[in-house]
Every structure is written in structure tokens, then in C-alpha cells.
């Protein structure tokens, strides 16, 4: 293994695997906390006080559960950091609550709901690199802003904008919505705007119609019943619908159609109104990573993170130019495709176009608005391949794309691209688009790795044999490609951590040559945390990572941590380690000691 480590294209000594209260980085690198939940993002924001939280304070502070991290450079060493805040963990955010479920929501007063709504969404903040090579937030920047489901107005573009199914009591035109929810991964466009993907939107919608078991059900008189059944609405994960009609489908039966989209934000203009671009389809978007085709079109890969759901890509009609306003139009006029992975190793991208094939009025699609609102139902009819939960997808400029299939323990029968029944550890697919062109409607695919412990007989893991016990991983989630074209993977094992004993982390995964399929551990999370980001910036001298929900996920399955974390008794108090301070999801900045490109 020592000899092959010397041949690795990633120059660093791999970290030892493990699981403890704090984070770890490979030797020779720094991992500094840049922004924690509650940190002020404006000069007049109050300091974080966990015992005296308010929505007003949270609206000027960094939000909860940082997931996607993007960066738009203004000049070398200065730019706008764009961070998604996917969801909240009430039991570790607020004192005295314990774990919440529908019956326990009585603890969630309107005051607490407002705080957690203000903790969702996104943060756009200017950061700069100091003389010491370390990054800091510029609190004086007029561009700093929070984007939330509490108070940020948004508009719609594309075929569903103004559609009758988007017309609600509070917006008869079907053109406006307040906020964005469950923003998981995302992307940056080639012109420096920030794409926020709305993932598990179904979980935010409430109803007072309950079945005999007390579970939420759709009102069968609602014309959206079939659609909402396919999307899992109403999930009722949060009590917001008790206090806000817009999250209560009994009061606003069409409102869920206004979520599940890709939102574009201009980080350079703090007064800009974010736009939900409906041409990209409505599903549980994990992310929205962009590239440019050989012919100059914008291409966006986006997975629908649900068991047996699909991988999509969007190709703009026009081409990317130097005109930023014209570029944003590329997100309203283009073709959405869904992937069919054929048994012969080819992939076909099937267009979701009204009037083509089965996407007609006889099948319930009256126009292209219906097609994008019900992208899942359209893709079902087209014969897309049911996948093992498509998480992030990362295109590379050479016509290659990497697709993270995180896991699917409900799979009973494999298909060629998802070969393992009871797939607890996931796999990664590599797509090579025909002619190296991301706009191609056909390509080939291969499985790069089948994840999990290669020593465990029977689970069918497959890695380059030079991979050490530190290097293999389970449940790939986010990914990035650095300036050298090398692939990096971060993991999210959820409460299944006990199956590997490893904390989530960042891995360097070879895609070329004899070491193809070889993985090395670079960074690992504190216990109960999931690793998001990753994003390379600053000519690869800076790597942004996001440690999400430290101390919460599956801690009861771990020796030394056998309990559910609460505000009073968290499994870790990372990153502050101060009495009374709950664990705080935080963005971490990785730099090389003494400077220089990472892993070079």
C-alpha cells in the first residue's frame, strides 16, 4: 500500500478512520471553523445566545444545518460564500424539548416555529482571506443576506409560472411564493449565481385529516391527490402548518406545488428577488451542478433523492454568454431529461416534453406546466430507471458525470445500474456522454465503486484492492471535482453509522489509471455529523466543508454515545466545547499549512 500511495494523484497521507467528539484532517492541513449556527452575518446582528433565541436575531445570524456550500469570487482572496440551511433539529436547538414527533409538537410554540423557519433557507455572506492566509467574514459587506421561508419573497419562471396549479389564496396569479425549504445541495452557475435545490419539501406540509393510526392523509376531494401521493405530501414533519396557512394543505391545497424546485439567487445583489425556475422540474432535488456543453449550452445534473426515483439533467436551448441577465433566461427555456440506464452499458436521456410519447392529455398532462409539476409521474411513464436514491451528481468538463447513489435498503431486485438488493452502502456511477458532450442524449455508464466494507463477505463491496481500511466508505452523498479534475466524495450514513463504525468524512476517489476505484480519507466529522459541501475555491488553495447536525445522527448506536442527543445532553458540544453551548453545525475551511494547492 505504501508504494501505491506514492502513485496516488492525491498527495496527502490518509487519515485514520474513527469516530469521536471532534473533527480530524490529514496531516499538514488546517481545518478552521469559519461560520457556526448563530454567528452574526451583519455588523448589527446580536451575538448568539442559545438561551435567548429569537426569529429577529436568527434572521441576521448564520442558519442551521449547513449543507451546500458555493463561492462566487469577486477578486482573488475575496468573494461571496453561499450556504444552504437544509433543516432543523429542534431537540438540540432549543432547551427542554427532547425529541419531537407529531404528538410532541405541543412544545413547538409559534415563537419556536418562527425561529426554526428563520434558521432554514440560505446565507449569502462576503468573506476575505487575510494576510495570515485565513478566511474571515466581512460583517460590513452590504451584500450579506439571509434567505428564509419566513420572509423572503420569490417569483417563478418557466412553464409552470402562473399555472392554475400554482394559484393559491394568497397569490391568485400563481407567480409568487414566500421562501424556500429543505435546501440540500445546490450549484453555482458559470455566471456566478447560486442555485438552491429544494429537496424534502413534502415534510413541511400539514393537515388535520388523520387516519385511524393518527397519520396524515390527503383529502380525497383535492384534485392533487394522485400527484401528492407520488410526492409524499403531506409529510407533517414540522408544526409550521399549525401557525401558517401556507404550510397547511387544508387551507392552501395547492401550496405544495410551489416547492420542490431549483431556486436561483444572485449573491452580488442583496435586493435581487430569488427565482424558482420551473423548467428544471419539480421533485426532491438533491442538488443542481452545472457545466457547459461542447456547443455552449448550460447543462445541469440533478438527482431526485428518494428510493427508486430518478436521475435528471437539463439542457438549455440557448448558449452561455457574458450577459448575466440573458444567462438566467437559460434556466427558463430548455429541455429536462430523465435517465434510462440500459443493460448494455448505455444510457438514454429521455425528454420530458408535453405532447411527446405518453406525455399527453389522455395521461393527465394538459401542458408543459403539468409535465414539470409532475416530473416524477412523467418520468414513470417514460420508463426511467429506478435508482438507489440519487444524491449529488457532478459533471466534469470532459463529458463525464459522477452520480452518487447513497443507499436503498428497500431494494429487493437489482437492475443493471443498481445491482445490489438491500443496498445499505450505495454505489457511484460514472457516465461518459457521447462525444464528450454534456448535451448528448446518449452515453455509456459504468459502476466506479460499490461501497461498504470490502472485508465483509456477502455485501458485494468493490474497491480498488489497494484501498486501505481507512479508505473505504458507505453512503456517498455530495461530491466535487477539483481544478485537476480529481473526484472528492463526502458521506452521509444517517443513523446507519453503526454498520461501519466510521464517522462521515471526505474521501479522495481515483477515477483514472491503475488506481481507479482507490479511496483515501482526508477529513472526518465529529460524532453524529454528516459531511456536506465540499467546494474547492481560490485556485484549489481553499476547500469549504460543511459539518451538518453534529452530535445528532444515530448516536444511540455508538459505544460511548448510546443516547439521543438533546440540548441539555448532546453527544458532542462541537465546535465550541463550552458548557451550556449546544453543538453547532458549521462551515469549515481547509487550507494547507504554509499555503499551496490542496493534495498537490
Q: Find the shortest distance in angstroms from Cβ 470 to ligand FEO.
A: 25
Cell 416555529 -> residue: 113
For 189-286, where are the E strands, in sequence order? Answer: 194-198, 262-265, 275-277
* Residue count of the chain: 600
Smallest separation, CB 517 to Ca ion (Å): 20
Residue 51: all three cell numbers together: 438561551
286 binds ligand FEO (CB under 6 A): yes
Q: Least distance (Å) from ligand FEO to the CB of residue 581?
A: 26
Q: 381: part of which helix (H) or strand (E)?
A: helix 375-382
Can you list the alpha helix ranges (DSSP code H) found in 357-463? Answer: 368-373, 375-382
* Minimal distance, residue 389 CB to ligand FEO, in Å: 7
Select the binding partner of residue 14 from Ca ion, ligand FEO, none (C-beta < 5 to 8 A, by kind).
Answer: none
Examine residue 482 and tell whether it contacts ligand FEO (CB under 6 A). no
Cβ–Cβ under 8 Å, residues 396 and 427: no
Q: CB of residue 151 vs ligand FEO: minimum separation in angstroms?
A: 23
The contacts of residue 52 (CB under 8 Å, 6+ apart) are: none
Q: How far is the CB of 86 from ligand FEO (least distance, A)?
A: 6
Smallest gap from Cβ 338 to ligand FEO, in A, equals 18
Task: Answer yes or no: are the C-beta atoms of 218 and 234 closer than 8 Å.
Answer: yes
Q: Report the residue from 86, 91, 289, 553 that binds ligand FEO according to the rule CB under 6 A.
A: 86
End-to-end CA distance of the chain: 19
184 binds ligand FEO (CB under 6 A): yes
- Residue 553, C-beta contacts closer than 8 angstroms, at least 6 positions apart: 493, 494, 495, 497, 528, 529, 530
171 binds ligand FEO (CB under 6 A): no
Shortest distance, position 328 Cβ to ligand FEO, whole Å: 25
Contacted entry of ligand FEO, Ca ion, none for residue 198, CB cut-off 5 to 8 Å set by kind: none
> Quick count: other Cβ atoms within 10 Å of Cβ 493?
26
The grid coordinates listed for 165 are: 396549479
CA distance 241 to 233: 13
Q: Does 388 bind ligand FEO (CB under 6 A)?
A: no
Given the complex with Ca ion, which of 182 and 227 has the nearer CB atom? 182
Which partner, Ca ion, ligand FEO, none, binds residue 392 by CB below 5 to 8 Å per kind? Ca ion
How far apart (Å, rounded) are the C-alpha atoms in residues 53 and 507? 36
Cell of 231: 410526492
Q: Which is nearer to Ca ion, 94 or 201 (CB)?
A: 201
CA 386 distance to own-chain centroid? 20
Task: Kindly tell me which residue out of 91, 391, 504, 538 binds ligand FEO, with binding defined by CB under 6 A.
Answer: 391
Shorter beta-carbon distance to ligand FEO: residue 86 or 126: 86
Q: Which is nearer to ligand FEO, 389 or 486 (CB)?
A: 389
CA atoms within 13 A on the CB side of 541: 12
**Closer residue to ligand FEO, CB minimum distance, 202 or 518:** 202
Instruction: Check binding of 198 to ligand FEO (CB under 6 A).
Output: no
Q: Interface with Ca ion by CB under 5 A: which residues?
A: 184, 391-392, 477, 492
Diameter of the chain measured on Cα atoms: 67
Which one of ligand FEO, Ca ion, none is in contact with 199 (Cβ closer than 5 to 8 A by kind)?
A: ligand FEO
Q: Please tell me the distance from the alpha carbon of residue 152 to that of residue 145, in angstroms, as a whole number.
A: 10
What residue 86 binds from Ca ion, ligand FEO, none (CB within 5 to 8 A, per partner kind)? Answer: ligand FEO
Distance (Å) of CA 600 to CA 71, 252, 594: 21, 54, 13
- Is the Cβ of residue 36 or residue 85 nearer to ligand FEO in the bound state? 85
Please, which residue, 163 or 549, has the CB nearer to ligand FEO? Answer: 549
Based on CB atoms, which residue is closest to ligand FEO, 161 or 339?
Answer: 339
CB 578 within 8 A of CB 543: no
Per the CB < 8 A criterion, the answer to whether 474 and 456 are in contact is: no
Distance in Å, CB of 139 to ligand FEO, minimum: 29
The residue (of 199 and 266) whose beta carbon lies closer to ligand FEO is 199
Residue closer to ligand FEO (CB basis): 303 or 582: 303
Residue 126 touches which of ligand FEO, Ca ion, none (Cβ within 5-8 Å per kind) = none
Q: In Å, what is the CA distance from 322 to each residue of 190, 326, 537, 549?
A: 10, 8, 21, 39
Phi, psi of 245 (to 5 degrees): -55, -30
> What torsion, rounded to 10 degrees, do the Cα atoms 241, 243, 245, 251 define?
70
162 or 496: CB nearest Ca ion: 496
Residues 6+ apart with CB under 8 A from 196: 68, 84, 121, 122, 147, 180, 183, 186, 262, 263, 265, 274
Question: Taking a C-beta distance cutoff of 8 angstroms, is the pair 555, 565 a contact?
Answer: yes
Closest approach of Cβ 257 to ligand FEO, in Å?
21
Residue 553 found at the interface with ligand FEO (CB under 6 A): no
Comparing every residue's Cβ against Ca ion, the nearest one is 492
Residue 309 touches which of ligand FEO, Ca ion, none (Cβ within 5-8 Å per kind) = none
Q: How many residues bind ligand FEO (CB under 6 A)?
A: 6
Query: Per residue, what are the HEC states of 333-358?
Result: CEEEEEEEECCCCEEEEEECCCCCCC
Q: Which does 39 bind (CB under 5 to 8 A by kind): Ca ion, ligand FEO, none?
A: none
Shortest Å, Cβ 532 to ligand FEO: 8
In the complex, the smallest distance separating the C-beta of residue 417 from ligand FEO, rounded to whole angstroms, is 18
Rule CB under 6 A: say whether 21 interacts with ligand FEO: no
Interactions with ligand FEO, residue window 297-316 (CB under 6 A):
305
Supply the minimum distance, in Å, between the C-beta of residue 350 and ligand FEO: 23
Which residue number, 55 or 195, has a Cβ lying nearer to ligand FEO? 195
Residues of the shown chain interacting with ligand FEO in the complex, contacts defined by CB under 6 A: 86, 184, 199, 286, 305, 391
Amino acid at each position: 500500500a505504501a508504494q501505491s500511495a506514492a502513485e496516488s494523484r492525491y498527495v496527502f497521507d490518509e487519515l485514520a478512520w474513527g469516530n469521536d467528539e471532534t473533527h480530524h484532517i490529514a496531516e499538514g492541513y488546517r481545518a478552521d471553523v469559519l461560520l457556526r449556527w448563530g454567528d452574526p452575518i451583519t455588523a448589527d446582528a446580536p451575538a448568539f445566545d442559545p438561551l435567548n433565541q429569537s426569529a429577529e436575531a436568527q434572521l441576521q445570524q448564520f442558519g442551521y444545518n449547513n449543507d451546500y456550500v458555493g463561492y462566487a469570487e469577486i477578486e482573488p482572496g475575496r468573494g461571496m460564500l453561499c450556504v444552504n440551511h437544509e433543516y432543523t433539529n429542534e431537540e438540540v436547538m432549543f432547551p427542554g424539548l427532547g425529541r419531537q414527533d407529531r404528538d410532541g409538537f405541543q412544545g413547538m410554540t409559534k415563537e419556536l416555529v418562527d425561529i426554526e423557519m428563520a434558521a432554514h433557507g440560505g446565507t449569502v455572506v462576503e468573506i476575505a482571506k487575510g494576510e495570515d492566509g485565513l478566511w474571515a467574514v466581512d460583517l460590513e459587506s452590504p451584500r450579506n443576506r439571509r434567505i428564509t421561508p419566513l420572509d423572503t419573497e420569490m417569483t417563478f419562471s418557466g412553464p409552470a409560472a402562473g399555472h392554475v396549479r400554482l394559484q393559491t389564496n394568497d397569490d391568485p396569479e400563481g407567480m409568487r411564493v414566500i421562501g424556500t425549504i429543505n435546501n440540500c445541495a445546490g450549484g453555482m452557475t458559470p455566471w456566478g449565481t447560486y442555485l438552491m435545490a429544494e429537496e424534502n419539501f413534502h415534510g413541511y406540509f400539514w393537515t388535520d385529516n388523520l387516519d385511524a393510526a393518527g397519520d396524515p392523509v390527503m383529502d380525497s376531494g383535492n384534485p392533487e391527490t394522485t400527484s401528492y401521493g407520488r410526492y409524499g405530501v403531506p409529510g407533517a414533519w414540522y408544526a409550521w402548518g399549525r401557525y401558517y396557512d401556507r404550510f397547511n394543505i387544508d387551507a392552501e391545497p395547492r401550496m405544495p406545488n410551489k416547492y420542490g424546485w431549483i431556486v436561483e439567487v444572485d449573491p452580488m445583489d442583496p435586493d435581487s428577488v430569488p427565482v424558482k425556475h420551473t423548467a428544471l422540474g419539480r421533485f426532491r432535488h438533491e442538488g443542481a451542478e452545472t457545466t457547459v456543453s461542447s456547443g455552449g449550452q448550460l447543462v445541469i445534473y440533478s438527482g431526485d433523492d428518494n428510493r427508486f426515483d430518478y436521475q435528471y439533467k437539463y439542457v438549455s436551448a440557448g448558449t452561455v454568454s457574458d450577459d448575466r441577465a440573458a444567462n438566467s433566461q437559460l434556466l427558463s427555456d430548455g429541455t429536462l431529461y430523465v435517465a434510462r440506464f440500459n443493460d448494455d452499458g448505455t444510457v438514454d436521456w429521455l425528454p420530458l416534453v408535453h405532447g411527446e410519447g405518453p406525455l399527453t392529455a389522455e395521461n393527465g398532462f394538459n401542458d408543459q406546466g403539468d409535465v414539470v409539476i409532475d416530473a416524477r409521474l412523467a418520468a414513470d411513464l417514460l420508463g426511467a430507471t429506478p435508482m438507489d436514491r440519487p444524491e449529488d451528481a457532478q459533471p466534469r468538463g470532459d463529458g463525464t458525470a459522477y452520480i452518487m447513489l447513497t443507499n436503498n435498503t428497500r431494494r429487493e431486485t437489482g437492475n443493471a445500474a443498481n445491482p445490489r438488493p438491500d443496498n445499505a452502502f450505495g454505489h457511484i456511477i460514472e457516465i461518459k456522454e457521447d462525444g464528450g458532450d454534456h448535451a448528448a442524449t446518449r452515453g455509456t455508464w459504468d459502476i466506479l465503486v460499490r461501497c461498504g466494507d470490502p472485508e465483509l463477505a456477502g455485501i458485494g463491496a468493490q474497491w480498488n484492492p489497494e484501498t486501505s481500511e481507512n479508505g473505504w466508505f458507505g453512503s456517498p452523498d455530495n461530491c466535487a471535482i477539483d481544478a485537476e479534475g480529481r473526484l472528492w466524495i463526502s458521506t452521509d450514513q444517517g443513523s446507519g453509522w453503526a454498520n461501519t463504525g466510521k464517522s462521515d468524512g471526505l474521501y479522495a476517489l481515483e477515477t483514472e489509471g491503475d488506481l481507479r476505484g482507490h479511496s483515501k480519507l482526508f477529513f472526518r466529522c465529529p460524532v453524529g455529523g454528516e459531511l456536506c459541501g465540499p467546494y474547492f475555491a481560490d485556485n484549489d488553495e481553499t476547500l469549504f466543508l460543511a459539518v451538518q447536525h453534529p452530535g445528532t445522527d444515530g448516536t444511540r448506536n455508538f459505544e460511548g454515545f448510546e443516547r439521543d442527543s438533546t440540548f441539555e445532553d448532546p453527544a458532542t458540544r462541537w465546535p465550541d466545547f463550552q458548557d451550556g453551548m449546544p453543538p453547532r453545525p458549521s462551515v469549515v475551511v481547509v487550507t494547507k499549512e504554509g499555503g499551496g494547492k490542496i493534495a498537490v
